[in-house]
Every structure is written in C-alpha cells, then in structure tokens.
Amino acid sequence: MSPREVEVAWASQLQALLDASPIVSNVAIDPVPNHRDSGYDGKADFIIGDEPHHLLIECESSGQPRHVRNAMASLGPEILRASGLTRGLVVAPFISLASRGILADHNMGWLDLAGNARIVFPRFHLEINKADRDPFATKREQRSLFFPKSARLLKLLLHKPHLPWKVTELATQANISAGQVSNVRRALIEREWATAETGEGFRLTQPDALLDAWRDDGVQAPSAVLRGYTLKHGRPLDAAMEAAFAEATQHNAHLLLASHSVARRLAPYARVAGEFFYADAAGLALLKRHLQLSTTDKGENVTVFKPGDDGLWQETMELAPGHQGTGPIQTYLDLLSTGERGREAAEHWRAEKIKPLLAGPA
C-alpha cells in the first residue's frame, strides 16, 4: 500500500472515530493538500470542554519501527512549535505491536487502516485494538521471513548474534543469493531486530525478538517419511544407531537425531518415548537396516522426518560420540511443533541451550 493510498483513507476514519465520542465536538480534518512545505501530512482540530485540541498526522507506507521513528522525527519539531494541546498521530496500513510500544513511550498516537487506534490527551483516551497481525500482507509476505532458505540465514545469524556480517559473506555461508540476503537484511532492520553500520556490515540487535516472532508465526511440523517400530532398546539400540551414523559418515548419507531425541540427551524436560530423526534417502535406508525397522500405523517408536530444506544439514550438534543431532535453533522449532508438551519442552530448551548462545561470550 502506497503512502498516497494511506493519505486518502485516513481522514474519514479519523473523523468517524472522533465524531463517535460524546465529549468531542467541532471536528475539523485537514489533509493539508495545499501546503506540503509543512512537516506533517495532515491535521485534525476538535474541542473538548471548550478547549481546543490538535492532532498532527504523519502518514507512512509501513508501520514497522524504522518507519515509525522516521514519522516521529518529522512530527517532533512540529509539535514543539505548535500552540495549545497538540499530539502526534502516525498513520499507516498497519502499526505493528513493537511500533505501538515505541509510540506510546513517546506520547504519540497511532491510527491504522486495520482498525487499531490510540489517541490520548489529558481528558481524552481513545484506544482500539482490533488486529495484532497485518491483514494487508499476503500469507507469503507474512511468512516470507521464515521460508526455508531465509531460515538458513536466520539460523546463521542467531548462532552468532553479535557478529557483524557483510551480505556477500552471508550469501556464501548460507548458500543463498545475495538478493535474498538483502531482502532479509531489510526486513530485520525495518523491525529493528538488526542494525547496519557503515563499513561494518549488519548484525542482530534483538535476537530474542526475532526468535519470539518465529515462534509466534506458527511453526509447521516436519513431514514424516516413516513411522516405524524396532525391537531394539537400551544398549543394542544405541549400538545400532552408532553403526548407522558411522556408515552415514563413510558414504556421505545425511542422518541426524531430531526433536525430543536431541532434547532428551542435552536438556531433558518432557519424557516423550521413541527416537526422532531427519534423514535423506540413503540415511533412511541405513536406519531401516541397522535398527531393523518395520513400518507401522500406530505404536511407532521411531519417526523419520524429511528435511524441508537442505540447509538443515548445515546446523548440527555432536550429542555423544557417534551421534549427531539438529542444531539448537532447529531443535527448538521442531519441539514447538509437537503440541503443548512440546512447547513446554521447547521453552525449557530455549532457556537451557539458546539463551546462553544469544548472550554471547561473557
């Protein structure tokens, strides 16, 4: 949605909100079409108890924090020059939750075309919360930051959150295009989860906020390619798994322990029976042979997942001699996708294994 579309739409919406208040009268909306040399995009005047009140409006094409701060920078000097009770109001298609917090902290209001609004004066408080997600974004736009190839990049950044990166370095290490890195970089900076410094590359500044958004976006469960049953347990099962991993290394097959199998070994929380793996076709064949798996529709004690992207093999952990598992971020995401107990286990995993990672060196 363009700034022009926002400028056209906001006036009638604001008029209706103010007219609906029984203590507000004499509402006059001026979209400032003829004096663009001003530092704002519109103005609203109204009366409360015989006292004039004024809103100075700045329109933005995006309601992400970086855009909101730009709007605040434009409105700030104008508010200082104004006479009487004057507040700033930032208008955008959708004002994000983080941006609402920034505006509230600076005593400014917001209005978005999704129906969210906040206007506060000493004797007047209007606040409407209708949408926490952007209704104007397509599903692809909402989830594009967490698409598999972008996820490769995010995992790399989360593993080294305090390290500045150049676009070309990230593209090479994540094995994705420089254009895709630039798109992710821009999205992270707009949300103020990352910062860019001239000559120094860019780095994460709010890794926890990024991980929260990834969690809240709705993690998809991996696709199971086999649900099987093995009669092996205890030491014979461990030996069979060691043999499968050893042969996978020798023949360049891909095989990793996953989900609760990783958490159980490094940060046990919820007891979930069975072993979980990621495997390619060659790795799956090794598991079938060494664990003597038989396929079953119920009562499985071995589940093998298909990776959604080859980047999964780039983030791994050594669990024990001869055992490899998914890395900290992938393990967290997989745990999140396994129901309520899985989410509890995921947050325990995050506290035990990811929090120290994000804190960086002491």
| Cα separation, 255 vs 287, whole angstroms | 9
**Closest listed residue to residue 305, CA positions, set 332, 290, 323, 283:** 283
How many Å apart are CA 24 and CA 39, to the nearest integer? 26
**pLDDT value at position 4?**
63
What is the reported pLDDT for 154?
93
Helices within the chain (DSSP H only): 3-19, 65-81, 97-105, 139-143, 148-159, 167-174, 178-190, 207-216, 235-250, 259-266, 281-290, 328-336, 339-349, 355-359
Q: What per-residue confidence (pLDDT) applies to 139?
A: 47
Would you say the pTM of this structure is higher than 0.85?
no
Give the pLDDT score at 361: 61
List of residues 6+ apart from 250 with CB closer than 8 A: none
Per-10-residue mean pLDDT of the chain, 362 residues long, equals 70 93 94 64 93 94 90 93 93 92 94 94 94 70 72 92 90 90 90 84 91 84 93 93 94 95 91 93 96 91 93 90 92 92 93 90 56
Amino acid 140: pLDDT: 45
Pairwise CA distance, residues 142 & 140, whole Å: 5
pLDDT of residue 219: 80
Name every residue whose Cβ is closer than 8 Å to that of residue 217 and which is 6 or more positions away in sequence.
Answer: 142, 143, 146
Tally of CB atoms within 10 A around 250: 8
For residues 306 and 277, is the Cβ–Cβ distance under 8 A? no
Complete domains list, the chain, with CATH: 3-128 (3.40.1350), 139-216 (1.10.10.10), 223-359 (no CATH)
CB 258 within 8 A of CB 276: yes
